[in-house]
Chains A and B, each alone.
Chain A
Amino acid sequence: MVVLRLEQLGKAFRLGEIGRRVFFRDWRNKLTARDVLEDDPDVYWALRDVSFEVREGEVVGLLGANGAGKSTLLKLVSQITAPTRGCVKLRGRVASLLEVGTGFHPELTGRDNVFLNGVILGMTRREIAAKLDEIVSFSGVEKFIDTPVKRYSVGMRVRLAFAVAAQLEPEILAIDEVLAVGDAAFQQKCLGKIGEVSRSGRTVIFVSHNVASIESLCTRGVVLDKGRLAFDGTQSAAIEAYAATRGGRTTDLRTRTDRLGSGEVRVTAVELRDSSGRPVAVARSGDELQIALHFTRSAGATFPRLAAQVTITTYLGAPVFTFANWLNGDQFGDLPEEGILVCRIPALPLPVGHFTIGFRISAEERGRRDPFDGMEAAADLHVEAGDFFGTGKLPPLRLGVCLVRGGWKLEHQSRPAVA
């Protein structure tokens, strides 16, 4: 059954100050019944002509860059603001969780705030009273439940607020990026709860920048790009489509002066690519990453045994690993005057975080200590969560700056037989 349908949904916002000028113009347009929204330069369409529908029990992930219209779409669905064009059709109650702890009052106790927050989200006092014990124990702030919330730490507030929200039982649940707050353990707890909600047959619309959480939770992905629907399909296809809308990330190096070497070969740009060679903006843990070094060679210079290496360093400058063709024995042959050296890393062993890419180009016959070109921190490498271990789990950056695969088993101690 279709529980939510968007029909040619559009939302326009007026930019800038609403002063006397806008006031009189609006009235003039009203009187002349002119539709000015279409070509007014002060009007910004946050969402335009978006149509799709969601069936009962689906978990839809909304993907899109900042300003793509994801939050606007959630606000329209959750009735916070009305559409400018088209309509939203709903079957059943909608609860939205666009912020954790909406309406918390610092002077009131935790208990009072549970009730206040709960009724704001659409529950009745009776429902909340029935679930109070569960809420309090899920939040883990039992001891402080009769203390004013202003004395809570941020973490306690967030836990209490999510505990309330977790008790919502609407037919449609709209969630916006609330997982961005809180620590990793809390995020896991939230994700688990969202998974539980979807398994109970309710519909979830979920906005996140965290591609891994979309991948593990959602059954379907919708990609918005500049207010329009760019893709609608399975979540993994949507993630690829989303990567495509973000475009590639090529760092131009032609104006950089912080380089080493004699200059017979110059790297002009660093480009990141995915396994199929498409440019990407960010890399994912466990996925193939290709680092493409665009170069130019000065005329007349030939080096049959070129040595190319890239070094990945943490954001603070500590090297994580180096990979070079002289390590695995790959050969390039003669270089063209312009070309691309592609370094392929089949399963990127990096946790989520920011890294930098450095490189060095030299020739075996001249010795690697006398390079043609080299640069530290030539380009940024942003790594987002991916499935390195095949379990969807990743250790945080603080437990180590690189990932390894391996195995664990138990061995029983075999005691030497007593003679």
Chain B
Amino acid sequence: MDLRETNAQEVDDSGWTKILRPQPRLLHLPLRELWRYRDLIWLFSARDVATTYKQTVLGPGWFILQPLMITVVFSYLFGRMAKFGSDDIPHYLFYMGGLVPWQFFADSITRTSNVFTGNANLFSKVYFPRLAVPLAALLTNLVPCAVQMGLFLIGLVYYVLNDNPFTHPTWWVLLTPLIFLQLGALALGIGCTVSALSRRFRDLAFGLKVGLQLLMFGSAIVFPLSRLEPDERALFFLNPVVPAIEAFRYAFTGRSLVEPWHLALSAGVSLVVCVGGLLLFHRAEQDAMDTV
């Protein structure tokens, strides 16, 4: 390398499109790049929807069967045998109203929590913003969620037409998309955190399974909050899933103890968890392929 060339390079040392360094910026999310790869997010999720139920007899019928069966079992176990009650809401609407948002939340966590281990082969061969994978998973989950929402609405229409005295949809119905947005964001944050950490420590995958099962009972899916003492109830409302699910029930039946500030608080917590999870995930993706 001669001197002239060296000089020329020094002048040239600017205007790089990208500089890859060992320690990336801590507080940085590749949002612009994700936008450029939006087609990838879309196609990943289309692929997952198209291939999940290949080689099954019932196909997408499972979207419908699964919540129906759980609703029947819950209604029998917790409604009839244990008599937890349902705030007088028809059982179908009460349990489905809890299960539709809960399933979306729980499935979203499961699907976003093993991104690095589940895609190691792909990730070690080509670069794209890794966040495309969990985002696509969320999008994929909206499909069964929409189907189950339809099931729930059919039941709702039935009870409203029959003038059920405990089924009065409120204007909160308009908040439904925001409720799912919040649950999605919270799930994404948790899932991404687990993804980021479990690339080195698989323990988390086991912990997550147990945690989700326990969290369902802590999220008031199978009993109404009115069954609890007021100070116990306050504790439950600290769980950011509870206000979202209760808001969903309130929106469609008009019966719940949720208050707007509960919802605001849980939305705030969800946002923090989501951003934190995304940051952790982005940091992990730099060298995830070395440790998987």
Which A residues contact B (CB, under 8 angstroms)? 1-2, 5, 13-14, 18, 23, 53, 75-76, 78-94, 96, 98-99, 102-103, 105, 107-108, 112, 115-116, 119-122, 124-125
Pairs across A and B, CB under 8 Å, 12 listed: A1-B12, A75-B124, A79-B127, A80-B123, A80-B124, A82-B20, A87-B20, A88-B19, A91-B15, A96-B127, A102-B125, A122-B37
In the complex, chain B residues whose CB is within 8 Å of the CB of A93: 17
Q: Type the 1/0 row for B144-179, where 1 means its CB is closer than 8 Å to any CB of A.
A: 000000000000000000000000000000000000
A53-B9, A82-B20, A124-B39 known; A116+B289 contact, CB < 8 A = no
- The complex places the Cα of A84 from the Cα of B20 at a distance, in Å, of 10
Q: Type the 1/0 row for B51-77, where 1 means its CB is closer than 8 Å to any CB of A.
A: 100100000000000000000000000
In the complex, chain A residues whose CB is within 8 Å of the CB of B9: 2, 5, 53
B9 to chain A, nearest CB (A): 6
Q: Type the 1/0 row for B102-146, where 1 means its CB is closer than 8 Å to any CB of A.
A: 000000000000000000001111111000000000000000000
A14-B291, A92-B17 known; A85+B22 contact, CB < 8 A = yes
Whether, in the assembled complex, B24 has its beta carbon less than 8 Å from a beta carbon of chain A, the answer is yes
- The complex places the Cα of A384 from the Cα of B42 at a distance, in Å, of 46
Q: Type the 1/0 row for B23-55, where 1 means its CB is closer than 8 Å to any CB of A.
A: 010000000000001011011100100110010
Q: Which of A23, A86, A116 contacts B47 (CB 8 A)?
A: A116
Contact indicator A107/B54 (Cβ below 8 Å): yes
Contact indicator A107/B39 (Cβ below 8 Å): no
- The complex places the Cα of A358 from the Cα of B201 at a distance, in Å, of 56
Contact indicator A80/B16 (Cβ below 8 Å): no
- With CB as the reference atom, state the residue of chain B lying closest to A4: B16
Contact indicator A81/B54 (Cβ below 8 Å): no
- With CB as the reference atom, state the residue of chain A lying closest to B16: A89
Contact indicator A81/B12 (Cβ below 8 Å): no
Contact indicator A108/B47 (Cβ below 8 Å): yes
A356 to chain B, nearest CB (A): 38
Which B residues contact A (CB, under 8 angstroms)? 9, 12-13, 15-22, 24, 37, 39-40, 42-44, 47, 50-51, 54, 122-128, 200-201, 286-291
In the complex, chain B residues whose CB is within 8 Å of the CB of A81: 286-290
In the complex, chain A residues whose CB is within 8 Å of the CB of B13: 89
A2-B9, A119-B39 known; A80+B127 contact, CB < 8 A = yes
Contact indicator A82/B40 (Cβ below 8 Å): no
Residue of B44, B123, B290 ringed by the most chain A CB atoms within 10 A: B290
Contact indicator B16/A120 (Cβ below 8 Å): no
In the complex, chain A residues whose CB is within 8 Å of the CB of B122: 102-103, 120
A96-B127, A99-B125 known; A119+B37 contact, CB < 8 A = yes
- With CB as the reference atom, state the residue of chain A lying closest to B54: A107
- With CB as the reference atom, state the residue of chain A lying closest to B199: A18
In the complex, chain B residues whose CB is within 8 Å of the CB of A103: 122, 126
- The complex places the Cα of A87 from the Cα of B9 at a distance, in Å, of 16
Contact indicator A122/B19 (Cβ below 8 Å): no
In the complex, chain B residues whose CB is within 8 Å of the CB of A13: 290
- The complex places the Cα of A98 from the Cα of B125 at a distance, in Å, of 6
Contact indicator A82/B22 (Cβ below 8 Å): yes
In the complex, chain B residues whose CB is within 8 Å of the CB of A82: 20-22, 24, 286-287
- With CB as the reference atom, state the residue of chain B lying closest to A123: B39
Sorted from nearest, which 9 A-B pairs have the closest CB atoms? Answer: A82-B286, A79-B127, A88-B20, A119-B40, A99-B125, A89-B16, A125-B39, A102-B125, A90-B18
Contact indicator A78/B126 (Cβ below 8 Å): yes
A409 to chain B, nearest CB (A): 49
B36 to chain A, nearest CB (A): 8
Contact indicator B21/A87 (Cβ below 8 Å): yes
